[in-house]
Structure 1
Amino acid sequence: MTTITTSDIPIIATKVKIIDRLAESKGTVKSSVNTSDQVTLFQYDTSFAELIGPSPTHSLLLSTAGISNNPFFHEACVFLPAHDEIYITSNLLQATSSSNFPTILISRVKLLRTDRLSGDNNVHTIEWAKLRPPPGIDYPNGGVNYEDGILFCAQGSAQSGTGGIYYMPRKAPPKAVVTNFHGRDFNSVNDVVVAKDGCIWFTDPCYGNEQDFRPRPKLPNHVYRFDPKNGDLRVVADGFGRPNGICFSPDESVCYITDTDYIHGDGTRDLTRAATIYAFDIIIVAGGPFLTNRRVFAFAAVGVPDGIKCDVYGNVYSGCGDGVEVWNSAGSLIGRIMVQEGVANFCFGKQGEMFLCAEQKLWRLQMARSTRGALLGV
């Protein structure tokens, strides 16, 4: 394992462009493209101004563009506040020789702050280590904070009996949590979230088979709930093209699930397929949670909505083809965090910061310090 250290990371003032919705709807203003190789903010509503604050900034923490061009910064994007570390999974990395298979690596990014005592939140140095996934975590994708480590989605390999949800403690071997649905392999588990009661909810599209590292699917593209206390495993939602990101509203009364059917794992795209966030009400029936009142919450302006998270105010953020799009809880687009390469996944950090995974680049955005992610609230 080699660690790369990058110091003296520049902090850049982030441009904010106020968008006139009526003018945009009439085609007199175009706002769908970010031509700058920097992060730019598009404000559609004054509520977004409160989230970003009066003087947002951004920094390019890591980049492989023009070097290896490898997409190391793709999914998971899990922030461990106790250690000031981010864990990120790569996109599929092609083999360097015909005798090897494509692989996915995990990046551990250690953050060093400017001045912890003064409360300055800026990152001046990072230490980047590329890790091979531990045994069992084959082709990792999404992840979430869990106990003293991370729950990883293992998409699995070509062999039957692989894939599922694995717990990776920070300094111990990984442990299998759930690896099959009553004897049937999952397709390629994609993203995961943990409810306040400790139950694990996760999505299972068929991308692994389409990318030629998983067998033919044995199940529909479901969303599942697993109770680690008693082993209860349930299908909680179906009817998706390719269910992808999943998150809860801050009070866990609503579950948001993205459908990225617009793009298949072989690269096929169809503008008429879903690039949609669906919202479900969570109700309790006979002591168990059910997803009801399925409805379209939002359709991505550009590309597909991939990773998804809420802030403490109930606003919904999703990584899309233009960066991160932000809606209020009524489904109205209030702002866009424009990143030229688009964003697959992201996470909130400390005191209003966000980390944005843009395949070959990892960005840090500093917004208002009162803007916090609902998942951690730090």
Structure 2
Amino acid sequence: MELPPNCKRISREERTIASSSTRSNAFQPHFAVYDDEFLDIIGPEPQIVLAIEKDFPFSHEAGVFDPTQNAVYMTSSQLGSKESPNIKITKAVKQEHDGLWRSEEIATDVVMGNGGINYRSGILFCSQGTMTEPGGLVYMESKPPYATKTLIDSYYGRLFNSLNDVVLHTDGSIWFTDPIYGHMQGFRGKPQLPCQVYRFDAETGDIRVVADGFGRPNGLCFSPDETTMYVTDTHMVRGDGTCDEMNPATIYAFDVTERHGTQFLANRRVFAMADNGIPDGIKVDLQGNVYSGCGDGVHVWSPAGKLLGKIMVPGGVANFCFTTKGAMVLLNETKFWEVKIGGEREGALLANMGIKI
């Protein structure tokens, strides 16, 4: 099958024989095709376009698309000094008249923000907290003055470590991860809880641990039919940026089951392992394919866990999001990339939440 421009087919030898590997940080953005199924995903004319570039790592986490404003909200990497760390929130808006993205920093009370999700008419952020301020789930209105409200900051009084990522179920429950990166990076105190995944009912205040046994639980998402939850474990990379390759860089899958009128996670299993870096942010499309930001870009697996291809960008991707049909944006620290793939390809997240794009 003929490849579209900007694509490279990865041979059997490159995948399986170390001496044939082309692993390198020196490459131009492109699409790496491991299986021809990936061609159905990216379409006949895929593109990777640098939309915004700045001189600091503004484009790191969250990646929340608000279709009412044609805007993406994102959080920066840790900035400031060890004594006074901060994280900035940026709002990037795609202009109707010229199709270009323009960005602005938002002044808000979200403390050390990280992951985020569409919630009600605004954005729900994971606040990691500081030495003096607890972290938790913080709702931010999506219009100035970007007022905030904390929904939860503890597990029955025991402070969370540093919330990382969050997702919603269609029943309204909020699911999130809580690793100890804040402590490891020096802006949170001694952890009071294990590294776990939680389910929170904002209406009743019910908060439950639904999965444990992780090194560093990070990204999470549901399959399109919400029968499976995917959770990434990024334990391979320590908080100071050093690596231990004996630790997980792994995506785990769980069955979402119902017992006694509520949901549980069961039947934990390995779904996939990243071959480059760690699988950080994670999303699915409506066909059930799984996408995750890794050390050399966004990796894409079939629902069966087969690596189909990669959207390759130098420096890798921490997080990303689907925007309009056939489009994604990738958060690449100092760079914000727009990706065009198959015209009808759509993320399951907004569709399941009933948000029209």
TM-score tier by shorter-chain length is: over 0.9
In the alignment, is residue 125 of structure 1 matched against residue 115 of structure 2? no
Q: Provide the residue aligned with 2:60 in structure 1.
A: 74
> Moved runs in structure 1, 4+ residues, more than 6 A?
none
- Contact 2:198 2:209 (8 Å CA) reproduced: yes
Q: How does 1:201-350 map to 2 (within 5 A)?
A: 201-350=175-324
In 1, the alpha carbon distance for the partners of 2:313 and 2:193 equals 35
Q: Provide the residue aligned with 1:50 in structure 2.
A: 40
In the alignment, is residue 166 of structure 1 matched against residue 111 of structure 2? no
Q: Deviations over 1:81-131 (max 9, x none)?
A: 111001010000134xx8x612100011011146xxxxxxxx632221012
Any gaps of 5 or more consecutive residues in structure 2?
A: 352-356
Q: Provide the residue aligned with 2:80 in structure 1.
A: 94
Give the drift of 1:195.
0.4
Give the drift of 1:215.
0.8
Q: Provide the residue aligned with 1:4 in structure 2.
A: none
Q: Deviations over 1:313-332 (max 9, x none)?
A: 00000000010001001111
In 1, the alpha carbon distance for the partners of 2:172 and 2:5 equals 38
In the alignment, is residue 41 of structure 1 matched against residue 16 of structure 2? no
Q: Provide the residue aligned with 2:354 in structure 1.
A: none
In the alignment, is residue 83 of structure 1 matched against residue 69 of structure 2? yes
Give the drift of 1:241.
0.3
Give the drift of 1:39.
2.0
Q: Deviations over 1:255-295 (max 9, x none)?
A: 00000000111223101100000000011111111111100
Q: Provide the residue aligned with 1:17 in structure 2.
A: 8
In 1, the alpha carbon distance for the partners of 2:59 and 2:131 equals 24
Q: Provide the residue aligned with 1:111 in structure 2.
A: 94
The letter for the 2-side match of 1:141 is: N
In 1, the alpha carbon distance for the partners of 2:318 and 2:17 equals 29
Give the drift of 1:59.
1.3
Q: Provide the residue aligned with 1:139 in structure 2.
A: 112
In 1, the alpha carbon distance for the partners of 2:200 and 2:99 equals 40
SS in 2 for 1:79: strand
In 1, the alpha carbon distance for the partners of 2:250 and 2:321 equals 20
- Percentage of pairs with the same residue: 48
The two structures, once aligned, show a CA RMSD in angstroms of 1.6
Which one of 119, 122, 126 corresponds to residue 149 of structure 1?
122
Q: Provide the residue aligned with 1:189 in structure 2.
A: 163
Give the drift of 1:20.
2.0
- Contact 1:34 1:338 (8 Å CA) reproduced: no
SS in 2 for 1:375: helix
In 2, the alpha carbon distance for the partners of 1:264 and 1:29 equals 30
In 2, the alpha carbon distance for the partners of 1:53 and 1:34 equals 26
- Contact 2:25 2:315 (8 Å CA) reproduced: no
In the alignment, is residue 177 of structure 1 matched against residue 151 of structure 2? yes
Distance 1:202 1:303, change over 3 A: same
Q: Deviations over 1:327-370 (max 9, x none)?
A: 00111100011111100000001011110001111000000111
The letter for the 2-side match of 1:106 is: I
Q: Provide the residue aligned with 1:366 in structure 2.
A: 340
In 2, the alpha carbon distance for the partners of 1:303 and 1:276 equals 10
Give the drift of 1:179.
1.1
In 1, the alpha carbon distance for the partners of 2:132 and 2:243 equals 28
In 1, the alpha carbon distance for the partners of 2:156 and 2:348 equals 33
Aligned residues: 347
Q: Provide the residue aligned with 2:17 in structure 1.
A: 26
The letter for the 1-side match of 2:30 is: T
- Contact 2:13 2:21 (8 Å CA) reproduced: no
Give the drift of 1:164.
0.3
Give the drift of 1:28.
5.8
Give the drift of 1:180.
0.6
- Contact 1:34 1:40 (8 Å CA) reproduced: no
SS in 2 for 1:376: helix
The letter for the 1-side match of 2:329 is: F
The letter for the 1-side match of 2:102 is: E
Any gaps of 5 or more consecutive residues in structure 1?
A: 1-12, 115-122
What is the TM-score normalised by the length of structure 1? 0.89
In 2, the alpha carbon distance for the partners of 1:126 and 1:215 equals 38
SS in 1 for 2:161: coil
